């Protein structure tokens, strides 16, 4: 039996496994002061879960980064509080930090 974070579907779990592998590889390749812009276009993965995946990948890559910016979907794609699926687009700009 697989335990998923609250509200995470099997599809979300598969997306996170893929994103973890991609992030970990990218973090290993980035220069010590490199920038990474990453985006998710799925309502199956929320901010907290995506950031946790990024954090886990940073630990795996033995790197440190800071979040410079968060991105949301454009106003012509409104988020409706009663329909969670409408909040599907999120992104983060990360700056690699020396250390680790």
Strands (E), the chain: 35-41, 64-72, 89-97
Q: Give dist(CA 8, CA 19) in Å, integer.
A: 15
Domain boundaries, the chain: 10-97
Q: Give dist(CA 2, CA 53) in Å, integer.
A: 17
CA distances from 58 to 5, 63, 69, 81 (A): 20, 5, 17, 32
Report the predicted TM-score, pTM, of the whole model to 2 decimal places. Answer: 0.73
Q: Known catalytic residue: 41?
A: yes
Residue of 14, 17, 41, 59 marked catalytic = 41
pLDDT digits (tens, 9 = 90+) for 49-80: 888 888 888 888 899 999 999 999 999 999 99
* 10-97: CATH superfamily: Vaccinia Virus protein VP39 (3.40.50.150)
Nearest to 50 by CA among 3, 95, 89, 100: 89
Which residues lie across from 92 on neighbouring strands? 38, 70
- Higher-confidence residue of 25 and 84: namely 84
């Amino acid at each position: 039996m697989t335990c998923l974070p609250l509200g995470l579907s099997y599809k979300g779990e598969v997306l996170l496994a893929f994103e973890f592998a991609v992030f970990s590889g990218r973090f290993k390749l980035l220069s010590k002061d490199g920038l990474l812009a990453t985006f998710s276009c799925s309502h199956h993965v929320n901010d907290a879960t995506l950031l946790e995946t990024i954090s886990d990948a940073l630990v795996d890559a033995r790197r440190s980064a800071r979040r410079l910016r968060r991105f949301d979907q454009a106003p012509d794609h409104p988020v409706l509080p009663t329909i969670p699926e409408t909040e599907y687009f999120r992104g983060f700009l990360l700056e690699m930090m020396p250390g680790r």
